[in-house]
C-alpha cells in the first residue's frame, strides 16, 4: 500500500501528536468516518511503535498510517517495523530517506527553500514536506511549484479549514493538518469523538 497514489487519493493527512494507546482507535475511527484516511503518528510520542502497530492491527488497509517527526534512520526503521507506510520528517536527513526507501516505504522529508526541496527529491524523496508552511503561505508554494512541477509537495504548519484549499490550488498535492483538526488531549467523551468526525468531514468536503 506504500504508493504515492494513496496520498493523491487521500491528500489530507491528520498529524496526531500526543496520541496514546487508549484513545487512538476511536480517534482514527472518527477521522475515517469523517472521510480522512491518511494519518501521521508523530515519533516523539511515547510508545509510538506500539500505537502504530495497534492501529494497523485494527484497521489494516482501511487507513494509510505513517510515522511523523522522524529525525534519524533508526526511528524510521522503528516506525516502519511497526507498520508505517510512510515516513515524514520536519527536516532533510539523507540517511533517513535511504532507510525509508530500503524498506519500500514513502519518504517525505521536510524542506523549505527551493534548493532544499530539490536536494531532497534528488536523494530519493517521494514527496517533500514544505514546513513550516504558515511562515511562507500559498503564494510561496505557487512560486516553488512553477519551476519544480515534477516534485510532489506536502504542506504542513498552520493548515486550517479556511486556507487548506488555497494551498492545494497553489500546487501542493497534500496537506498535513495537526491541532486544527485533532488533539488527543481534548478527546475525553463520545461527544468529543462525534465532533471530531464532523470536523474531519468539513475538511474532507473541501476536496469536493
Residues with a known catalytic role: 40, 129
CA triple 87-139-127, angle to 5 deg: 20
CB of 145 closer than 8 Å to CB of 171: yes
Decide: helix, strand or coil at residue 71: coil
Cell numbers at 49, concatenated: 511503535
Residue the block writes with cell 515519533: 43
| 130 backbone dihedrals φ, ψ, rounded to 5° | -85, 115
Spatial separation of the C-alpha atoms in residues 165 and 58, rounded to whole Å: 31
Rounded to 5 degrees, φ, ψ at 30 are -65, -40
**Partners of residue 153 on adjacent β-strands:** 128
What's the CA gap between 74 and 59, in Å, rounded?
25
- How far apart, in Å, are the Cα atoms of 66 and each of 7, 21, 78, 84? 11, 16, 12, 5
Burial of 102 (0-12, 13-18, 19+ CB in 10 A): middle
Amino acid at each position: 500500500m506504500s504508493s504515492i497514489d494513496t496520498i493523491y487519493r487521500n491528500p489530507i493527512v491528520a498529524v496526531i501528536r500526543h496520541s496514546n494507546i487508549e484513545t487512538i482507535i476511536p480517534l482514527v475511527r472518527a477521522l475515517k468516518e469523517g472521510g480522512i484516511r491518511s494519518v501521521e503518528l508523530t515519533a516523539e510520542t511515547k510508545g509510538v511503535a506500539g500505537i502504530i502497530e495497534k492501529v494497523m492491527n485494527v484497521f489494516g488497509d482501511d487507513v494509510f498510517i505513517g510515522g511523523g517527526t522522524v529525525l534519524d534512520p533508526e526511528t524510521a526503521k522503528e516506525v516502519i517495523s511497526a507498520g508505517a507506510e510512510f515516513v515524514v520528517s520536519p527536516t532533510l536527513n539523507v540517511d533517513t530517506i535511504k532507510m525509508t526507501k530500503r524498506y519500500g516505504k514513502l519518504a517525505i522529508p521536510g524542506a523549505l527553500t527551493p534548493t532544499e526541496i530539490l536536494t531532497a527529491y534528488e536523494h530519493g524523496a517521494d514527496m517533500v514536506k514544505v514546513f513550516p508552511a504558515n511562515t511562507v503561505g500559498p503564494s510561496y508554494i505557487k512560486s516553488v511549484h512553477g519551476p519544480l512541477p515534477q516534485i510532489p509537495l506536502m504542506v504542513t504548519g498552520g493548515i486550517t479549514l479556511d486556507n487548506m484549499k488555497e494551498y492545494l490550488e497553489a500546487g501542493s498535492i497534500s496537506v498535513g493538518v495537526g491541532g486544527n483538526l485533532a488533539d488527543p488531549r481534548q478527546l475525553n467523551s463520545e461527544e468529543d469523538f462525534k465532533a471530531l468526525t464532523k470536523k474531519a468531514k468539513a475538511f474532507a468536503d473541501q476536496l469536493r
